[in-house]
Amino acid sequence: MDAGRAMTLDAHAYLAAKEPYGPRYATWFGAPEPQRGQKVGANFAAIKDAFETRPLAIDCGCNEPYFAYVYPVQPYKIYVCEAFWSAAITGTDSRGGTLVHEMSHFDAVAGTDDHVYGQAGAAELARTALRGRSTMLIHMSILGKTRRSRRRASIAGFEMQACSD
């Protein structure tokens, strides 16, 4: 949970800086354009707000081979699955990135949709056909497997079902 929040804070700070966007932005969101930049910034602000102020719940009961999923109309509950567990905590293809990515799908947050999966597909979409909300953090898909146990915990005001390897 903290990894997702930290990655969101980093992205929000990058987007809020008074400097022009650089290659990091262009890779994932296309050429800097004012309207697109405002939408991406607003999406990350909403994700940051959700991590900081909403009752986020992580459900570890999914045994499917994919990474995670949400129901966009049921905000703040993220279902993590088998592929989530072997990823690094932060960075590219990470657990933190997956939580940020899934948070972006909630209608009450940023309402994003997946149009492609994987880093290559997301970078190509950003280069050729970005529509503002369509590739929010798609590049944070991951590979993996897991074993896990469950325990209830409350961390930094979030009620969650904590999971460990």
Which sequence positions are flagged as catalytic? 102
Contact call for residues 80 and 98 (beta carbons, < 8 A): yes
First to last CA, the chain: 15
Amino acid 11 reads A
**CA 109 to chain centroid:** 11
Give me the helix-helix angle, 95-105 and 34-53, nearest 10°. 110
